[in-house]
Structure 1
Amino acid sequence: MNYFHFPLEEWTNNFVNGWLLPEMSGFFDSISLALRSFVDGVTNLLIAIPPELFTILLILIAWKISGKGIALFTLIGCIYLGSVDLWVETMQTVAIVIVSTIISVIIGVPVGILSAKNKIIDQIVRPVLDFMQTLPIFVYLIPAILLFGLGGVPAVIATFVFATPPAVRMTRLGITQVPGEVVEASRAFGSTSGQLLFKVQLPLAIPTIMAGINQTIMLALSMAVVASMIGAPGLGSSVLTGISTVNVGLGLTGGLAIVVVAIILDRITQSLGQKL
């Protein structure tokens, strides 16, 4: 079946080693430095907050947004994280999730708006999103390690690629699902394109956009274990250590901690989207 030879591997390696790394290394180093400072700053901030104070604040937020049930679960979950000595690792994981989600939302929501407004952009963006969602996760790690080294920075980059598509797709969906008669009525009253977007379409699309952000957070958190393979700190490293040493207890402890964080973030963001 080998009718012709397609040297994709050679072309890719020649491009990366012959041009990308020699010519663009300074650019990627700048991005790496900025992201590392961002991740370290968020991590240090979360760790600096006393666990008791952080727990109280999180319980109040959960109670206000999601109700007593999630507030009680948050209390039990935080007690569990402290009792198994995984509080610092949890904050490291949450920091990576926060940074990745912020970048995904900053880029994903505007791209989703442009995609909803312009068919040409939509036709360009849609196959890119399909590629980002279907490409195996481990393939992201190769260029991430090559360009940004090991640690939290490549984890943020890989998580961003993996978790951004829902933010783009759900933003586009929310904008396009705004009833046409509402749009026409707004235009009939003299709304400009900017007023139509910011005062009509975006407010009506917020529940759908928040659902996309919720999915982005969950996907970012699901990358915790995979990111630990490239040196990212946090709960994933505990699970990875448990796997490599066949330590079932350690793997279960870290895995349950990830579940606790996932449930808390999921319920709070879901309820926030419904309230908005």
Structure 2
Amino acid sequence: MDWFYSFPNMNDETLRNLKKTLDEGFKAFTREYGDIIESFFEPLQYFLIQAERFMTATPWPIMILLIGGIAWIASRNWKIVAGTVITLLLIGYFDMWSDAMKTIAMIFVGTVVSIFVGIPIGIVMARSDSFQRVVNPILDVMQTMPSFVYLIPVVMLLGIGKVPGLIAVVIYAIPPMIRLTNLGIRLVDKDVLEAADAFGSSSWQRLKNVQIPLALPTIMAGINQTIMMALAMVVIASMIGVQGLGQPVLRSVNGQFFSLGLFNGLAIVGIAIIFDRVSQAYGKRLQKHQEVVHG
């Protein structure tokens, strides 16, 4: 009856050999192709460095005016703009400005990369059921995998630094962008598509002039979710050298510094609220615009 209480498993020696084979195979792959993969991501590294340099080198009053202006253009809401400015002033007053700008730069670059990669994949998914059946399980795994696990292969391939952290952020944050782009295009009214076909629109014209504009509110919801997930990943990515508000939070956990963790955690929450409110307000404006145009 021992088998009833003890689950039958693989022989210890066999399991050890399997793990050793997998580890050695991945290490061999890293030694063979690590430099090529690293050179592939050099433009991404340049983009991130320039964004971070711009955010940290620009005088704080100009930066607050710039972010406040973007908030106004997107939301047309003075309450959101006032909340944005007050949050940034408090972050600076509590000596977290530089770390906050590095975090915003990381979120900005991660979101831009997620948009440029996620939207085309979402469009292809919307146009091909077979491609959707292949990609959906991959997205399920990406969304259910513990975030720490993303760091292991990235660090083994690229080491510790900004780019590995950015890649981990993008992998963790991109699934909502892909899913909601796919959903938004699939939800476009079939009567509208038939009307576009009746006017002789090509497949590209129908996508560019009809499907994407009508799907924009849903795509904006995907961008909103991507930003929120990227912010959540920034703290974890600090474990592999990503600078910003995540590193003080990590230090506070290791050294049990309550106030350090509290202030930087609140700063992350403040930035998350800014991004959330501005992107949601912009999405609602797009929704109202579409209702007016097509209502």
Same fold per superposition (TM over 0.5): yes
- Specify the alignment match of 1:155 in structure 2: 165
C-alpha separation between the residues in 2 aligned to 1:139 and 1:120? 28
User: Is residue 34–residue 158 contact of structure 2 (8 Å, CA) maintained in 1?
Assistant: no
User: Is residue 65–residue 271 contact of structure 1 (8 Å, CA) maintained in 2?
Assistant: yes
- Specify the alignment match of 2:61 in structure 1: 52
C-alpha separation between the residues in 2 aligned to 1:202 and 1:130? 24
Q: Which moved more, 1:65-74 or 1:167-176?
A: 65-74
Deviation at 1:59, TM superposition (A): 1.9
Q: Give the letter aligned to residue 261 of structure 1.
A: I
What TM-score results when the alignment is normalised by the length of structure 1? 0.95
Deviation at 1:207, TM superposition (A): 0.4
Q: Which moved more, 1:168-177 or 1:8-17?
A: 8-17
User: Is residue 118–residue 175 contact of structure 2 (8 Å, CA) maintained in 1?
Assistant: yes
Q: Give the letter aligned to residue 70 of structure 2.
A: I
Structure 1 consecutive aligned stretches of length 4 or more whose deviation exceeds 6 Å: none
SS in 2 for 1:85: coil
Identity of aligned residues (%): 42
- Specify the alignment match of 2:293 in structure 1: none
What TM-score results when the alignment is normalised by the length of structure 2? 0.89
Which runs of structure 2 are paired with 1:103-114 in the superposition (5 Å)?
A: 103-114=113-124
Q: Give the letter aligned to residue 235 of structure 1.
A: L
Which runs of structure 2 are paired with 1:111-150 in the superposition (5 Å)?
A: 111-150=121-160
Structure 1, residues 173-206: CA drift from partner, whole Å, max 9, x if none? 0000001111111111211111111111110000
C-alpha separation between the residues in 1 aligned to 2:49 and 2:69? 26
Deviation at 1:251, TM superposition (A): 0.4
Which runs of structure 2 are paired with 1:252-271 in the superposition (5 Å)?
A: 252-271=262-281
- Specify the alignment match of 1:2 in structure 2: 8
The yes-or-no answer on 1:23 pairing with 2:32 is yes
C-alpha separation between the residues in 1 aligned to 2:135 and 2:283? 25
C-alpha separation between the residues in 2 aligned to 1:65 and 1:33? 32
C-alpha separation between the residues in 2 aligned to 1:75 and 1:119? 45
SS in 2 for 1:190: coil
Q: How many residues align?
A: 275
Q: Which moved more, 1:56-65 or 1:95-104?
A: 56-65
User: Is residue 144–residue 158 contact of structure 1 (8 Å, CA) maintained in 2?
Assistant: yes
- Rg larger for: 2
Q: Give the letter aligned to residue 2 of structure 1.
A: P
- Specify the alignment match of 1:65 in structure 2: 74
Deviation at 1:102, TM superposition (A): 1.2
C-alpha separation between the residues in 2 aligned to 1:198 and 1:63? 27
C-alpha separation between the residues in 1 aligned to 2:107 and 2:22? 30
User: Is residue 32–residue 148 contact of structure 1 (8 Å, CA) maintained in 2?
Assistant: no
Structure 1, residues 142-177: CA drift from partner, whole Å, max 9, x if none? 111111111211111111110000000000000000
- Specify the alignment match of 1:182 in structure 2: 192
C-alpha separation between the residues in 2 aligned to 1:26 and 1:64? 42
Q: Give the letter aligned to residue 40 of structure 2.
A: I
C-alpha separation between the residues in 1 aligned to 2:79 and 2:127? 40
SS in 2 for 1:232: coil
User: Is residue 59–residue 71 contact of structure 1 (8 Å, CA) maintained in 2?
Assistant: yes
Deviation at 1:3, TM superposition (A): 4.6
User: Is residue 108–residue 165 contact of structure 1 (8 Å, CA) maintained in 2?
Assistant: yes
- Specify the alignment match of 1:222 in structure 2: 232
Q: Which runs of 5+ in 1 are unaligned?
A: none
Q: Which moved more, 1:40-49 or 1:166-175?
A: 40-49
2:253 pairs with one of 243, 266, 272: 243
Deviation at 1:23, TM superposition (A): 1.8
User: Is residue 160–residue 241 contact of structure 2 (8 Å, CA) maintained in 1?
Assistant: yes
Deviation at 1:61, TM superposition (A): 2.5
Q: Give the letter aligned to residue 275 of structure 1.
A: R
User: Is residue 144–residue 157 contact of structure 1 (8 Å, CA) maintained in 2?
Assistant: yes
Q: Which moved more, 1:112-121 or 1:51-60?
A: 51-60
C-alpha separation between the residues in 1 aligned to 2:80 and 2:71? 6
Deviation at 1:127, TM superposition (A): 0.7
Which runs of structure 2 are paired with 1:81-120 in the superposition (5 Å)?
A: 81-120=91-130
